[in-house]
Structures are given as C-alpha cells and as structure tokens.
Amino acid sequence: MAQEIERKFLIDLDTLGTLPAGTRIVQGYIPTQGKTAVRIRLKGELAFLTIKGANQGAVRSEFEYPIPVEDADAMLAELCNGQLVDKIRYLIEHAGHTWEVDIFSGNNQGLVVAEVELDSENETVTLPDWVREEVTGESRYYNSSLIDNPYSNW
C-alpha cells in the first residue's frame, strides 16, 4: 500500500533567504464521506488525481495518478465547486531531506508552511533554522480544510 509520511511546520519566511524557482499548484477536492480526500491537482504543466486516507499521526495512505490536464481542468470546474487552493511550491534541500515550502495566495494569502516527507514515522529530521512551529496533524492546516476554512477566516 502506498503511504505518505510527512511532517508539517510553520516557518519564518524572513529567515528563509532567497528562494529557488517555484512551481504554481492549483488544486481542488471532490466532496467525499469520512476522512478520505480526493484531490485534483494542476502542478505546472502536469495534472494528478490523488486519493488520501485518514491521518494516523504523520502517516496516511496515498494513491496518486497522472491524468490529462484537460480532464483536471474539467474536474476542478465541475466537481470541486470552484473552490480551489492556489500556492507556489519551492523545493529546498536541507540535511539530506527535500523540504516543500508552500506560499499560499487567494483566500489563504499569508499562510506559509513547509513539509518534509520521511521514509518512516520515527525517522530523525534536522530542522532548518527557519522552522518555527510543528503543525503535523492539525487539521486546519490540511489543504483540504483550507477550502472550507481559508486562512483569511482564522
């Protein structure tokens, strides 16, 4: 079974320094029951359908499949009720891990988070000095939660 093991953090953007080139990501969620999330994502010139299970700490099942961009556009417009998450993702290497720094726009303007994917839940990770606070498992920071409760409403 495919699993995603990641930790999520708030960061201090002022201490991050110069960012590399980023990739725009636009994504929406198809309504589901329970804690399953079905995501449609446009990532640069590519598109993906992702199905995620419920979080168990920093671990959850994840299945991701490439799909045609035209299909993703149609699904975002027709199945996601027009509510989307828009962000720029920057990849930063630190101490043997790739950190994904997301700077949100639109209704989530001002939110900046960093995620690091791990091989195991007990893997040790060296935190960069720009990390402020861990928010792993805090559901309001899930991208799927930002659709109904955007950062601008907090």
Is 29 an active-site residue? yes
Exposure string for 103-128, b = 16+ CB within 10 A, e = fewer: bbeebbeebbbbbbebeeeeeeeebb
Q: Which residues are catalytic?
A: 29
